[in-house]
């Protein structure tokens, strides 16, 4: 065993000082296990432990390798005993004398569950080939670009015949081409970090620096990201900095005292999710979590992070258990609020083009926008209100939709309050909520017609897009985390046509700047008629930078075909139908598009010109100006 020098190297000393002050954003560079000159140095932060031993395959898991604690509460040992691939843990004699095996919080690889020992795994430095993608991203304003995200649970996208899930080497071969074929711009994974229970979907983590071994090796995920970038697909990852797994041999009360968690038990215990809340005001915890985020961005070249459960981080009363007001008597969790501002500030300073997204369900705190204005500094927020209203509406019998038309249109009132992502996510297709397809009213044919209608509204409503896997072809069964998707559905002509519809709609979205070019401003949309509750038809215009670059969207929410349907148009001229959800190739019955519509001088609301067309039952149309006089007024 190598003796510890009396005088530490200055960089290491500064790293430890910065870790304790909450300013070390690369803590994994000195904490955890590190190989140098055929010896491993192990370091773990456990300031109140009485003693820590390194245990593993290499010493039969006994107490033969004690570690030494420094003035910063960090235990360290250097030894030549371990070998690549060995398992290890830290045996911690906690503050009260209790001894327990604990994981390495900074491990980058673990054994496959149900075990949770860390694996000594050296990842060779990768020679990345995605420079063109990364360089282009630095020059692009993502707010003014299309963003259409395919949300994936990595281990249930596809299974082998023996029931085993695909790993990332196999996903590189099959998922990447599928993303290209389906015309998505991004893929987003539910948490990929190590977690001991599959049914938590990765939202109760133990390894904040480790790709779950259930999904493959770190090298395989690096190669997957590179393949996505070479095919112009961005990669986003869910991340959970609010709470962690309650398992005793992982992070909870690591040294026997509240170390990663709050001192107050009511704040530490997350009753709703059966987990433990991070003390987000603690400097060392801030170093730990921000280092984790930076690690995933830099080591894996990911393009964005979706921060899960932000509401639970910024409100003390979000949980189901007892709560204590803050010093001002309110419910705001100031520690969480300032941590998220710090997180976004650090990441944006180092990587301005990396997307930061929040899954947040309240409207009391500004989530997106400049930190200087009091916002949390995220780029995007999930629009949970839109999602809840829209799904309630589409589940409803059309007889009642006219009286509840505000569910369809209310989002127009607040759509610019934040930079929104419209999420049709995994949360909406589990636990008895039914799949998107199964939510739709009516018989099977009408369900497909409405799903096409819903997706058209989803794609033409301002906001970036996110759709959970399987929804693209109308899978009828709810998502099951431990089974592959129902790919057999695609043998059915209606499912196959639905998949084709989604791929073409995704391409239509990418091809039409009117759907994303001015999305930061109300200039992006003009409502034609949001008051037609008798016929239950919604119409609006999406606009690009140029006068002639606009699309007219008409959505019929009833099973009644609307012949001779009149709407106002911004300019006199002719309008061509470029999208019709009832075309035969999409699973509908129409074999031809509506003819070109010529405007007349029949006034419609504030419009001096209008057109008539036929709107299919439960169908959606999009029209484009063919030849118009932009010098005329509405």
pLDDT averaged per 10 residues, the chain (length 634): 50 95 97 96 98 97 96 97 97 98 98 96 95 93 96 97 94 98 98 95 97 96 98 98 97 98 95 96 98 98 98 94 93 97 98 97 92 97 96 96 97 96 96 94 96 98 98 97 96 98 98 96 96 97 95 98 97 97 98 97 94 98 94 65
In the prediction, which pLDDT does 9 show?
79
Active centre residues (catalytic): 308, 359
Domain 10-119: assigned CATH number: 2.60.40.10
Rounded CA separation 10/630 (Å): 68
Residues 30/36, Cβ–Cβ less than 8 Å = no
Kindly report, as residue ranges, where domains of CATH 2.60.40.1180 are found in the chain.
383-634
Peptide bond into 451 cis (omega under 30): no
Rounded CA separation 55/50 (Å): 16
Strand pairing of 355-358 and 380-382?
A: parallel
178: which 2 tokens?
């599928």
Tell me the CATH class for 383-634: mainly beta
Q: At 169, which helix (H) or strand (E)?
A: helix 168-181
Q: How many CB atoms lie within 10 A of CB 314?
A: 27
Rounded CA separation 103/26 (Å): 19
Rounded CA separation 254/46 (Å): 7
The string of DSSP letters for 546-576 reads STT-EEEEEEE-SSS-EEEEEEEESSSEEEE
Residues 115/107, Cβ–Cβ less than 8 Å = no
Rounded CA separation 624/589 (Å): 22
**pTM for the whole thing?**
0.96
Please give the radius of gyration of the chain, using alpha carbons only, rounded to the nearest integer.
27
Rounded CA separation 101/119 (Å): 15
Q: How far is CA 82 from CA 37, 101, 213, in A?
A: 13, 18, 20
Kindly report, as residue ranges, where domains of CATH 2.60.40.10 are found in the chain.
10-119
Q: How many CB atoms lie within 10 A of CB 431?
A: 9
| Number of DSSP helices (H) and strands (E) in the chain, helices first | 13, 29
- The closest alpha carbon to 307, from 270, 348, 359, 355, belongs to 359
The string of DSSP letters for 89-122 reads EEEEE-TTS-EEEE--TT-S-BPPTT---EE--P
- The closest alpha carbon to 199, from 353, 491, 426, 360, belongs to 426
State the DSSP code for 185: S
What residues have CB less than 8 Å from 532, skipping those under 6 apart? 405, 538, 539
In the prediction, which pLDDT does 4 show?
44
3-state secondary structure 379-396: CEEECHHHHHHHHHHHHC
In the prediction, which pLDDT does 632 show?
66
- The closest alpha carbon to 237, from 203, 195, 191, 291, belongs to 191
State the DSSP code for 315: B
Rounded CA separation 382/361 (Å): 8
215: which 2 tokens?
């999904």
């Amino acid at each position: 065993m190598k003796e510890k020098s009396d005088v530490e190297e200055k960089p290491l000393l500064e790293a430890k000082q910065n870790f304790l002050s909450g300013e070390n954003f690369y803590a994994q560079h000195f904490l955890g296990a590190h190989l140098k000159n055929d010896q491993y140095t192990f370091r773990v932060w456990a300031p109140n432990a009485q003693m820590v031993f390194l245990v593993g395959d290499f010493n039969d898991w006994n107490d033969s390798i004690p570690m030494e604690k420094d003035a910063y509460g960090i235990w360290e040992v250097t030894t030549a005993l371990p070998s690549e691939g060995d398992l290890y843990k830290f045996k911690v004699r906690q503050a009260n004398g209790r001894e327990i095996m604990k994981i390495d919080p900074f491990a980058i690889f673990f054994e496959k569950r149900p075990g949770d020992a860390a694996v000594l795994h050296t990842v060779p430095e990768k020679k990345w080939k995605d420079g063109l993608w990364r360089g282009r991203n630095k020059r692009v304003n993502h707010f003014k670009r299309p963003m259409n995200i395919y949300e994936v649970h990595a281990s249930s996208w596809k299974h082998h015949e023996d029931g085993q899930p695909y790993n990332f080497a196999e996903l590189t071969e099959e998922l990447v081409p599928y993303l290209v074929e389906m015309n998505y711009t991004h893929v987003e994974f539910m948490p990929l970090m190590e977690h001991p229970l599959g049914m938590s979907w990765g939202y109760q983590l133990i390894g904040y620096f480790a790709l779950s071994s259930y999904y493959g090796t770190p090298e395989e995920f690096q190669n997957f990201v590179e393949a996505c970038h070479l095919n112009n697909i961005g990669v986003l990852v869910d991340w959970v900095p609010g709470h962690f797994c309650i398992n005793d041999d992982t992070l909870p009360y690591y040294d026997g005292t509240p170390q990663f968690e709050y001192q107050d038990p009511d704040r530490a215990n997350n009753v709703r999710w059966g987990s433990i809340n991070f003390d987000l005001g603690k400097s060392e915890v801030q170093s730990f979590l921000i280092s984790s985020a930076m690690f995933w961005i830099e080591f894996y070249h990911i393009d964005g992070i979706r921060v899960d459960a932000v509401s639970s981080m910024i409100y003390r009363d979000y949980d189901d258990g007892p709560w204590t007001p803050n010093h001002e008597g309110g419910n705001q969790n100031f520690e969480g609020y300032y941590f998220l501002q710090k997180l976004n500030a650090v990441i944006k300073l180092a990587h301005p083009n990396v997307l930061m997204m929040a899954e947040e369900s309240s409207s009391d705190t500004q989530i997106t926008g400049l930190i200087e204005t009091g916002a949390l500094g995220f780029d995007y927020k999930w629009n949970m209100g839109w999602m809840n209203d829209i799904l309630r509406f589409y589940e409803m019998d059309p007889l009642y939709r006219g009286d509840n038309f505000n569910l369809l249109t209310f989002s127009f009132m607040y759509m610019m309050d934040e930079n929104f992502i419209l999420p049709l996510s995994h949360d909406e297709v589990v636990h008895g909520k039914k799949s998107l397809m199964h939510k739709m009213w009516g018989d099977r044919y009408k369900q497909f017609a409405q799903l096409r209608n819903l997706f058209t509204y989803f794609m033409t409503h301002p906001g970036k897009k996110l759709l959970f896997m399987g929804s693209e072809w109308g899978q009828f069964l709810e998502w099951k985390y431990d089974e592959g998707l129902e790919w057999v559905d695609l043998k059915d002509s209606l499912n196959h046509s639905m998949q084709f519809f989604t791929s073409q709609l995704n391409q239509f979205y990418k091809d039409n700047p009117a759907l994303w070019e001015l999305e930061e401003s109300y200039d992006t949309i003009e409502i034609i008629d949001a008051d037609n509750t008798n016929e239950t038809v919604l119409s609006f215009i999406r606009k690009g930078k140029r006068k002639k670059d606009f699309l007219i969207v008409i959505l019929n929410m009833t099973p009644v075909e609307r012949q001779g349907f009149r709407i106002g148009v911004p300019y006199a001229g002719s309008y061509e139908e470029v999208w019709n959800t009832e075309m035969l190739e999409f699973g509908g019955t129409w074999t031809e598009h509506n003819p070109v519509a010529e405007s007349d001088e029949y006034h419609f609301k504030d419009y001096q010109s209008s057109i008539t067309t036929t709107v299919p039952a439960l169908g959606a149309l999009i029209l484009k100006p063919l030849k118009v006089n932009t010098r005329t007024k509405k």
